[in-house]
Amino acid sequence: MQLKMRYIEWWMRKRHLPASFRQRMRNYESQRLAAMRGVDEREMIRNLPEGLRRDIKYHICFDLVRQVPLFQHIDDLVLENICD
């Protein structure tokens, strides 16, 4: 995460962003990192092979999707596609 913040700082300097924009970006990143407890799940999953990425999404989402009344009686294959 420190590397990411350094990259963001470098990018902001390179683009000559005004100080107010820089502070807003720092605040946003700090809040986002606090909310995710320092782990960017989307970034971690984004670079995985497609099959593994799909399986992880299915594992994370399946029970949650199954709780939606509209989806309670839908076939597992359809639910898998919804999770994907």
Instruction: Say if 7 falls within a structural domain.
Output: yes
DSSP state letter for 70: G
Same domain, 53 and 79: yes
Q: What is the pLDDT of residue 23?
A: 94
Same domain, 30 and 54: no
pLDDT in tens, the chain (84 residues): 678 789 889 999 999 999 999 999 989 888 877 777 767 677 777 888 888 888 888 888 888 888 889 888 888 888 888 877
Same domain, 24 and 52: no
Same domain, 60 and 79: yes
How many folded domains does the chain comprise? 2
Q: What is the pLDDT of residue 11?
A: 92
Report CA torsion sign: 11, 17, 23, 27: negative
Q: What is the pLDDT of residue 17?
A: 92
Q: What is the pLDDT of residue 38?
A: 62
Structural domain containing residue 49: 45-83
Instruction: Say if 21 falls within a structural domain.
Output: yes
Instruction: Say if 40 falls within a structural domain.
Output: no
Same domain, 51 and 28: no
Same domain, 21 and 50: no
Q: What is the pLDDT of residue 64?
A: 86
Same domain, 26 and 52: no
